[in-house]
Amino acid sequence: MYDFNNIYQPKTVKEALEMKKAHPQALTLAGGSDILIQCREGKLAGRDAISIYCLDELRGICLEDDGTILIRPLTSFSHITNNPIIQKYIPTLGEAVDQIGGPQIRNVGTIGGNICNGVTSADSATTLKTYDAILEIASVDGIRILPYAEFSLGAGRVDLREGEILTGIRIKKESYENTFGKYIKYSMRKAMDIATLGCSVNVRLSKDKSKIDRVRISFGVAGPVPLRATSAEAKLKGLDITPELLETAAQAVMEDVNPRNSWRASKDFRIQLIKELTRRALKSSVEQAGGKF
């Protein structure tokens, strides 16, 4: 069924990195919910694979001493959604990954595999970008730290160099403290479908809940990679919480996006979605934070 040449199964991360150096063209197999489909279709026939799925040291979520949330890449979507740390501090991420596929896929698929595939529709990607996630990438030569904002190089391409494996995803306390967010996914079907467009927003309000202190807005399928609407964020900072804020945001994000025509949706329809999902996600985030329109 799966036409691999060789499958290597390291018992430790150290051994996995040594195998990656020895076999630089080998696929890194995590949950397999994406790679195995491509193998079954014959797209990756004859490739070597290094299966890291059984490396429990790359699985789990913890709160570090400085308040940083550490998510290991082999953590399944189901475990992210149900983890008490995620539910308490960044529930938006749990809500986002809970919209991936069905229960079977969420039990097997991993957050590391989701972002390392580099696809613009990855449901975890937009929310990780709004929380300024930082990646820990390891090789036999050491550990490289990279902002997730710099990880995407193009459609389906990420900054994983020869011999490297993603070993951690970190979200600093300053990125999630006193923030409230919302992820909205629009797809052609209610279940088991990839996003036609995804929008993730989180906000931090002023002490009197009357102004935007900080806002983060990210989109999936609004360009070739998951993207942050940084110019819109700058325009919204400091603005009063009024009904006009939502329309200002909807127009401002248009400077940051570059949607395309595809068989799933036209460019014009995606532009409509971008504006409407921005309004809805921002409104929900502000209201969760205690703001009133």
Domain CATH number, residue 76: 3.30.465.10
pLDDT digits (tens, 9 = 90+) for 93-130: 999 999 988 888 899 899 999 999 889 999 999 999 99
Q: What pLDDT score does 2 carry?
A: 62
pLDDT higher than threshold 90 for residue 74: yes
User: What domain range is 241 assigned to?
Assistant: 178-288
Q: What pLDDT score does 63 carry?
A: 98
pLDDT higher than threshold 90 for residue 17: yes
Are residues 57 and 102 in contact, defined by beta-carbon separation less than 8 angstroms? no
Same domain (yes/no): 141, 33: no
* Greater model confidence, 191 or 147: 147
Q: What pLDDT score does 1 carry?
A: 54
Same domain (yes/no): 19, 107: no
Same domain (yes/no): 63, 160: yes
- pLDDT bin (cut points 50, 70, 90) of residue 3 is confident
pTM above 0.85, yes or no: yes
pLDDT digits (tens, 9 = 90+) for 133-183: 999 999 999 999 999 999 999 988 999 999 999 999 999 999 999 999 999
Q: What pLDDT score does 26 carry?
A: 87
Half-sphere exposure of 10 (CA within 13 A, CB side): 24
For residues 47 and 151, what is the distance between their CA atoms, to the nearest angstrom?
Answer: 24
In a domain, 77, yes or no: yes
For residues 136 and 197, what is the distance between their CA atoms, to the nearest angstrom?
Answer: 28
Same domain (yes/no): 258, 223: yes
Q: Give the neighbor-by-neighbor strand order of the sheet with 27-29.
A: 7-8, 49-51, 27-29
In a domain, 2, yes or no: no
**Chain centroid to CA 250:** 22
| Closest C-alpha among 112, 192, 118 to residue 152 | 118
Number of domains the chain contains: 3
C-alpha radius of gyration, the chain, whole number: 19
Cα angle for residues 137, 141, 142 (degrees, 5° grid) = 45
Tokens 């990279």 belong to which residue? 146
3-state helix, strand and coil shares in percent for the chain, rounded to the nearest 5: 35, 25, 40
Q: What pLDDT score does 193 carry?
A: 79
Q: What are phi and psi of 282, to 5 degrees?
A: -70, -45
Q: What pLDDT score does 32 carry?
A: 74
pLDDT higher than threshold 90 for residue 90: yes
For 72-140, list the strands marked E by DSSP. Answer: 134-139
Of all residues in the chain, the percent with pLDDT exceeding 70 is: 95
pLDDT digits (tens, 9 = 90+) for 268-288: 999 999 999 999 999 999 999
Tokens 């995407």 belong to which residue? 152
Average pLDDT over residues 52-71: 96
Q: What pLDDT score does 102 carry?
A: 86
pLDDT higher than threshold 80 for residue 82: yes
- pLDDT bin (cut points 50, 70, 90) of residue 191 is low
- pLDDT bin (cut points 50, 70, 90) of residue 72 is very high
Q: Pick from 117, 149, 174: which residue ends a domain?
A: 174
What do you get for the CA distance between the two ends of the chain, in Å? 56
